[in-house]
Amino acid sequence: MTRPLSILDLAFFVLETPERPMNVGPLIVLNPPPRRSARPFADVLYERMMRRPAGAPFNLKLAPRSLTSLPELVADPAFAVEHHVHRVTLPKPGTTQMLFARVCELHPRLLDRTRPLWEFYLIDGLEGGRVALYAKVHHGIVDGVGFVKIIAQWLTDSPTDRVGRAMWEGVEGAAGTHHPSSGADAGRLLTAGVKSARTVLSLGRMLWKQGITTLGASPGAPLPFVTTPDVLRAAPSPRRSLAHCTLSLDRVKALGRTREATINDMLLTVLDMALTRYLEDRGLAPAEPLVADMPVALGGGGSGGNRIALVQIPLGAPGLDPIARLDAIKTRTRAVKSELHGGAQDAAMLHSVIAHALPSLWEVIGLQRPPLLANLVVSNPLGFNEKRYLMGGEIEFALPVSAIAPGQVLNITATNYLDRYQVTFLAVAEAVPDIDRLARCTEEAFAELAARLSGDAGKRRSRGRSKSKRSEEPTA
């Protein structure tokens, strides 16, 4: 059983350093079910999970490269689940902040590339008898959509289901079967060469369009590194800070509909407002629009590998009021997504690799104050609309813990659970030490945007009623 790696998969391996680990994974907190045994819930859950088999991509390891074959993942004949699964007990009082601090210690540690690229931690000792499940998986073997699918197959919607399933059982279709031969590999390399030539031509057209946008002639994505304001930077470091806040998903959707804006448009607007306020409080107000590095799914994802483009989207100009900021961001995101179709998708993936390789190179050579690709990374994978359980324990919250790309210091990922829109902030600690303050700024920004949109909608309804009333008046 093998699975080829895409160019973006490979990039996550090439760009990884001890200061920039490419680990991603979930942090899930469970409320145990009513006691049915004298034994602690964490002990029973651990024992049942350890008896579960491993599936792709969790039983695959990185194959050595050769001159005649492309890099790929292969089955590990020496796989043993006990090499990957660990128990951790927090000291009292076991607060959520203590949990976040422990995750920030575990998350940056590099994974062993001689084994399947993942680790799993069952963490007990939390207040109220809660149990945390934290995993880290190398981003080169799974994307955000794939992880959502993995978790969907791991957790259940039944509170009475007492099966102790494990995350490492994998996801259907996460690996294909490949019987290597020199002829087959040569054919793959030839096909890849022809496809690459077409991709390069498409990349040239993409860069031309971005140049036009940079000059202000179109609303799409500009050339990378050119327009990003010089705020939020720090030397490479493995130290991390973690926080989260929760917004009402129903309210986000309803308010977005008043301006024909998507959930993602609303998220970008709220984060733009929050980060601008956070920087202003520190005397670092940006003179130009902040730039978000945003993953866009290209289709074909969810099978374990990465099928995304990372595009740079300028946000609202300084001084815009919340509604004008939302409208500007909505126009920009629609223009960018309309460009990602057909052959442009492979070009966008190649563009993503090149754009993110340059900051990595600058960090290696120690270039002082290089241009910034973006000020923050924002992603918005899907979540769950129904309650989820594991062995009868109800999920309290489920947060994504992501990677921080070279040249960047802040990653923000939003997922939904029930009506809760969970926004997770992960940063280089030296750049954003007071990350809880940024989470609070986000709650305040959403409240401000909601008030403005509600007032604007009320004014439009009032004008509509007045116009309707005038139309009913008799004419002379």
Please state the domain extents for the chain. 2-169, 196-384+403-461
**Amino acid letter, residue 197:** A
Q: pLDDT confidence of 180, banded at 50, 70, 90? A: very low
User: H or E stretch including 466?
Assistant: helix 435-472
Q: Which of 273, 267, 244 is nearest to 427 (CA)?
A: 244
Query: What integer pLDDT is reported at residue 183 of this predicted model?
Result: 38
Query: What integer pLDDT is reported at residue 280 of this predicted model?
Result: 95
Pick 190 or 119 by higher pLDDT: 119
| pLDDT above 90 as % of the chain | 60
Question: For 110, phi and psi rounded to 5 degrees?
Answer: -65, 145
CA dist., res. 254 & res. 269, Å (int): 15
What CATH number has the domain spanning 196-384+403-461? 3.30.559.30
Tokens in use for 320?
Answer: 């815009």
DSSP β-ladder status, 23-31 and 85-89: unpaired
Listed in sequence order, the residues at least 6 apart from 425 whose beta carbon sits closer than 8 Å to its beta carbon are 241, 242, 243, 244, 410, 411, 412, 432, 435, 438, 439, 442
Look up tokens 């990677």; give the residue: 403
Say yes or no to pLDDT of 472 above 90.
no
Query: What integer pLDDT is reported at residue 178 of this predicted model?
Result: 38
Is 2-169 a domain of CATH 3.30.559.10?
yes
| Range among 200-209, 227-236, 467-476 rated most confident | 227-236
* Helix, strand, coil fractions of the chain, as percent rounded to 5: 40, 20, 40
Instruction: State pLDDT tens for residues 109-159.
Output: 999 999 999 999 999 999 999 999 999 999 999 877 778 888 989 999 999
Question: For residues 359 and 370, is the Cβ–Cβ distance under 8 A?
Answer: yes
Question: For residues 321 and 192, is the Cβ–Cβ distance under 8 A?
Answer: no
Average pLDDT in the chain = 86
Say yes or no to pLDDT of 186 above 50.
no
State the CB neighbour count (10 A cutoff) for residue 363.
Answer: 18
2-169 with 196-384+403-461: one CATH topology? yes
Query: What integer pLDDT is reported at residue 43 of this predicted model?
Result: 96
Q: pLDDT confidence of 357, banded at 50, 70, 90? A: confident
